[in-house]
Structure 1
Amino acid sequence: MTVTRKLTALAAGLTLAYAAHAFAADIPAPANKPYPGTIVLNVDATDVGQAIFRVRSTIPAKPGAMTLLYPQWVPGQHGPTGPLLQLAGLRITANGQPVEWTRDPVNVYAFHITVPKGAAQIEAQYEYLSPVTGAQGRITMTPDILGVQWLAMSLYPAGYYTRQIPVQANLTLPQGWQYGTALETASREGDVVHFKPTDLETLVDSPLFAGRYFKQYDLDPGGKVPVRLNVVGDTAEAIEAKPEQLKLHQALVTQAYKLFDSYHYKHYDFLFALSEDFGGIGREHHQSSENGVMPGYFTEWAKGESGRDLLPHEYTHSWNGKFRRPAGQNVPTFNQPLQNELLWVYEGQTQYWGEVLSARSGLISAAASRDALAAAAARYDNLPGRRWRAMQDTVNDPIIVQRRAIGWGDWQRSEDYYVEGQLIWLDVDTKIRELSGGKRSLDDFAKAFYSVENGQIGPAYYTFDDVVKYLRQVQEFDWASFLRTRVTGHGPGAPLDGLARAGYKLVYTETPTDYLKGAEERNKYADFTYSLGFSVRADGTIGGIAWDGLGFKAGLAATSTLVAVNNKAYKPDVLKSAIKAAKTGKDPIELLVKTGSTYRTIKLDYHDGLRYPRLERIADKPDLLEKIFAPK
């Protein structure tokens, strides 16, 4: 045997030996028993200049093998998206001496250590590095705002249910900053906040927003339990709500109580960031929600109607998704896979009730709510991906895609259980109304399904059969077949029976609705999806391209930039004028397109004018949307 072959054999043997050693470090299975001791978690959030959270965690331990886990499966994101990338500088000590750690070679979210003899605890020090650009991830710290997602700050011992691990959290804030959270505060000493001990699952479900500019609004004055809107922003002006704006948010709480006839929190805290720099977010929690939008929410109120459904959606989740949870979401730790098969109930029905409560509270007018429904109906009625992929399969997208950008959204599909789910629940609502002669509706289901054990905080889990059972209690019908047909169907077209029963049909006109105008302005794009088959961003780059649409067939891609239209520099109005002119002419529309360093002219032989979706009344049917959107 040559020296080279001997060395190769030796290396292979060492590799196998290392692998055997590495795989021998088993990760303890979670047990439903109390963890012996309380973790003390200290987070220093004062370095807003460099966007660094510094963490020190003291964890009771006993000598011998121990595995620490960093959360992988993120509640509310429905996938394995724990920000392990941002964890850095991990150092572990016991009795003041270093303890080496080894990352598990298969489960990279697990860290193996050996606790030395005589040690009763270990101390882990590390940093959570907030992204500083959107390309790195969601920005959670700016010079004026910070968001503490305890999941991102936590290491916890394997072998126990997270709800059985006690944690006492402490947070050091920048000088003078105020905060909002669902956590109970034990004390505040200067800028160090001590929270009451709780279990790890509750801690992770109770994020915190803090800011240089902070204001708290009471959304249920005199109510049985507090409901608060905690607002942080880039400026003091941005967080000032006018009385008439505050009244609409208070109406949201009133209408939710009338709908669900219950509450399942000790207090509820909306965490609301109004910022250009702090990352946008909408994430549900049982007794709070994280919400981040652009700073003009209050100051440019008239322009933002189409974006005011965020708070109603996340608030609805306190009932649907956090109190009432699909059985597949009942996992013992943050490192066990979530089962997402009922997300079309969890998120789809929340999408429906969020839109309904937006209208009933007056945050969004009934007219704008109809326009939003028209946009949703058009989107899914023209979705070619439905031909090969049922909506039921899209519940896997939080795992497959993990909310990364995709190239061909209407062909690949994405998390369509939200809005297509909304259309299905409109179908259910109108079917109940039809079968009962208008005596009952999905409101009756909401009262029955979500008001169980009013005041209970802990979750109540459900299965598909439970949903069917409660629907049958409201109105006898074969709901199992009704729902299965819709969630596993392929079309053609979207499930729009509910729209027709409500007295409306989807049509297209040359004038966009105010809702669509607002969406275009807020998102800075021009939408030609239902005419030329693509949209264009403010800088001229091609946005969403309709699969098999006119632009697609002409070879447009998301890497293209629209430079000129009929020899005139591109502006949205220039392209709109060209489309209008082509309707009465025979010449094609000429587009000068740049892809990389290559320019080319494409000709679109299109003569059907601008097309924007809206709803039109069916004359011989009652207007059920008027009843659905009317305040109670």
Structure 2
Amino acid sequence: MSTALATVSLTGLSPRARAADSQPQPLALPDSIPAPRDVPFGGTIRLSVDATDLARHIMTVHETVPVPAALAATGGDLPLFYPMWLPGDHSPTGSLDQFGGLVVKAGGATIDWVRDSVTVSAFHMHVPKGVHALDVSFQLLSPVSPEEGRVVMTPGIVNVQWNQVALYPAGYFTRQIPVEASLRLPRGWQYGTALRAQSAAGDVVTFKPVPFNTLVDSPLFAGRYFRRIDLAPGAAVPVTLNLVADKPGELEATEAQIGVHRALVTQANLLYGSHHYDHYDFLLALTEELGRIGLEHHQSSENSGPRGYFTDWDKTFAARDLLAHEYTHSWNGKYRRPADLWAPNFNTPQRGSGLWVYEGQTQYWGYVLAARSGLMTVPQVTEALAEVAAMYDTRRGRTWRPLLDTTNDPVIARRAPLSWRSWQRSEDYYSEGQLVWLDADTLIRQLSGGRHSLDDVARHFFGTNDGSFVTSTYEFDDVVKALNDIQPYDWATFLHQRLDRTSEHAPLDGLTRGGYRLVYTEKPNEYVTSVASMRHVTDFSFSLGIMLGKGGTLANVEWGSPAWQAGMTRDAKLVAVNGEAYDPDVLRDAVVEAKDAHAAPIALLLQEGDRYVTVSVPYHGGLRYPHLERIEGKPDMLADILAARH
């Protein structure tokens, strides 16, 4: 169309059409934060944290941040980040909502700052010309109760996660930013961390300078009641168990209990044939007050266990695969890491497509190493595997959502409570991933006539570069190649079938090939009983399809279960069973009595807010708990998988 014709056409438009041409258009987003570069920052940040305000749960922070020479010569903008994308969380879970009181000074004079309008975790500092360092102060206003988030300060324990108490300059890989951190603790407290002290004065410890990414990867547990245990006596590479507890009696570990923790180190070294740390520190809090955690780091791990971890040893075994799981992450997750989960700083988005290896295979080795070390007995691990198999075999969400899609859940849900987890699926790459790797392990053993196993793959894939803790990234084809290097097979198809497709049932071929079948009986599953005791719940997941917390609150209702069919929903409160006030034994008796096919439905009185409703559950299946049963005539591969190595 010619310019003249275009002019005539536009002027001939109706007022309504001309108005449409003036509709709003998007405002361009500002590009005000420099991309990270792999160059030295040019100075060392001095970070000081005071963690003594236990009553108010406040940590006070002061940082001295050098100003790059070029910026000091001219003045201008220095953006500082608050870390958001945290390794191990696989999502932007930084505690920015707990950040407060930011004051920035240069040469004693307060200077202005402004939060970035797009990346709200970035703060722009207006640096005057000739200023060579900024003095930055703020507070971590940590949760006072679990309703506000994970509690990190209690009267007896402090968990310092450095990402919560530090800002760092944008524009650099974090490995290029040196930091010297110091920490003030309550008088007389002791601590454990992968950081190493360079000096101490009174209640203040100053740590040796490390790159910012190493600092964030080296959290600290400190406590009034503390114990340090050597798990590798005489070894050239030390491994330490650092214990804190609510009560001093919780630290009373027997020599036998210490022995199985030492065996974990031995069995992991036999499995991988390498180490990727120059020292390793387990941090374990035995507490009902500090928030629960299980988080991996390259040279340490943050873990919490129940009170009674040692003193009620026979009842708390379901918590003891945690240390094995997080320790395995030093090899799988920290050293070898999916390429899309590695980022140059803590504010670059990550993707979790490889979490079925990162977490799924780690979950597998966590159970295996727990058995091989004696942290859990072989029968206890077998019961745990039965519970996993039953849970994922009956999880209805698998009919619409493939396993691989659940690797997006850290970003989608960020571990918030879900109304219908069994339908939504959540982070199933952990334990269903575990079943996939059991499937692979038994298949390798079968195809190779017992000459090879997943142990060989683990040593081949995770055991390279002994002594190095420089991260080595990989992609899907690298995993396939590692499997084929040990046992040729169409592993790409094997994995795609289990990861990318929906299915009615869980991948249980590993159990069958390993010599077992999943069955249900009225005998309680010991692992389910241990978990229920520690979490203070009563579990009817495989019968009525419900789990109840204290006071009869429905903690979970399985999608498609008898309870679901009757219209029951989580968070309702079970008040009465067949006209009798609820307690767990009353409900168990009702389930048993209703086993007769001619019995009346179970009548449950529920309180839903201010309303009361009675539902009838026509369930006649009796109590059902999962177990693994030996298949006659099949080799017991599972026994060999779980047996200690020598």
CA drift of 1:330 comes to: 2.0
Distance in structure 1 (CA, Å) of the matches to 2:367 and 2:599: 43
1:426 is the counterpart of 2:438: yes
Residue type matched to 2:606 in 1?
A: V
Instruction: Spell out structure 1 runs of 4+ moving beyond 6 A.
Output: none
Say if 2:306 and 2:316, in contact at 8 Å, map to a contact too: no
Distance in structure 2 (CA, Å) of the matches to 1:213 and 1:367: 34
Residue type matched to 2:477 in 1?
A: D
Where does 1:488-527 land on structure 2 (aligned, <5 Å)?
488-527=500-539
1:117 is the counterpart of 2:123: no
Q: Deviations over 1:530-554 (max 9, x none)?
A: 2112121121011211112111121
Residue type matched to 2:451 in 1?
A: K
Q: Which residue of 2 aligns with 1:462?
A: 474
Distance in structure 2 (CA, Å) of the matches to 1:563 and 1:259: 51
State the SS of the aligned residue for 2:291: coil
Q: Which residue of 2 aligns with 1:628?
A: 641
1:387 is the counterpart of 2:416: no
Residue type matched to 1:40 in 2?
A: R
CA drift of 1:557 comes to: 1.1
Match of 1:29 among 8, 25, 35: 35
Distance in structure 2 (CA, Å) of the matches to 1:195 and 1:31: 26
Q: Deviations over 1:439-484 (max 9, x none)?
A: 1100011111111110011111111111111111110111111111
CA drift of 1:559 comes to: 2.9
CA drift of 1:283 comes to: 0.1
Distance in structure 2 (CA, Å) of the matches to 1:158 and 1:57: 15
CA drift of 1:25 comes to: 6.3
Match of 2:601 among 573, 580, 588: 588
Distance in structure 1 (CA, Å) of the matches to 2:31 and 2:357: 39
Say if 2:372 and 2:642, in contact at 8 Å, map to a contact too: yes
1:44 is the counterpart of 2:50: yes
Residue type matched to 1:268 in 2?
A: Y
Say if 2:545 and 2:561, in contact at 8 Å, map to a contact too: yes
Superposition RMSD in Å? 1.4
Q: Deviations over 1:303-359 (max 9, x none)?
A: 101111110000000010001111112211100011210000000000000000000
Distance in structure 2 (CA, Å) of the matches to 1:300 and 1:400: 37
Distance in structure 1 (CA, Å) of the matches to 2:544 and 2:189: 50
Where does 1:61-100 land on structure 2 (aligned, <5 Å)?
61=67, 62=72, 63-100=75-112
Greater shift, 261-270 or 300-309, is seen at 300-309
Residue type matched to 2:48 in 1?
A: N
Unaligned runs of 5+ in 2: 1-23
CA drift of 1:586 comes to: 2.4
Unaligned runs of 5+ in 1: 1-14
Match of 2:464 among 427, 452, 466: 452
Q: Which residue of 1 aligns with 2:250?
A: 238
State the SS of the aligned residue for 2:263: helix
Q: Which residue of 1 aligns with 2:169?
A: 157
State the SS of the aligned residue for 2:278: coil
1:226 is the counterpart of 2:238: yes
Say if 2:218 and 2:299, in contact at 8 Å, map to a contact too: yes
Where does 1:339-488 land on structure 2 (aligned, <5 Å)?
339-488=351-500
Say if 1:25 and 1:112, in contact at 8 Å, map to a contact too: no
Where does 1:110-189 land on structure 2 (aligned, <5 Å)?
110-189=122-201
CA drift of 1:24 comes to: 4.7
Residue type matched to 2:237 in 1?
A: V
Q: Which residue of 2 aligns with 1:6?
A: none
Residue type matched to 1:39 in 2?
A: I
Say if 2:337 and 2:471, in contact at 8 Å, map to a contact too: yes
1:601 is the counterpart of 2:614: yes
State the SS of the aligned residue for 1:296: coil
CA drift of 1:264 comes to: 0.6
Say if 2:306 and 2:534, in contact at 8 Å, map to a contact too: no
Q: Which residue of 2 aligns with 1:7?
A: none
Q: Deviations over 1:283-309 (max 9, x none)?
A: 000000000122211111111011111
Say if 1:219 and 1:229, in contact at 8 Å, map to a contact too: yes
Q: Which residue of 2 aligns with 1:248?
A: 260
Q: Deviations over 1:539-575 (max 9, x none)?
A: 1011211112111121111131111111111111111
Where does 1:207-356 land on structure 2 (aligned, <5 Å)?
207-356=219-368
Q: Which residue of 1 aligns with 2:64?
A: 58
Distance in structure 2 (CA, Å) of the matches to 1:578 and 1:45: 52
**Identical-pair percentage:** 53
Say if 2:30 and 2:118, in contact at 8 Å, map to a contact too: no
Say if 1:560 and 1:594, in contact at 8 Å, map to a contact too: yes
1:617 is the counterpart of 2:623: no
Distance in structure 1 (CA, Å) of the matches to 2:438 and 2:182: 45
Q: Which residue of 2 aligns with 1:4?
A: none
State the SS of the aligned residue for 1:438: coil
Say if 1:86 and 1:128, in contact at 8 Å, map to a contact too: yes
Q: TM-score, normalised by structure 1?
A: 0.96
State the SS of the aligned residue for 2:85: coil
Q: Deviations over 1:48-96 (max 9, x none)?
A: 1211100000001122111111111011000010000011000011111
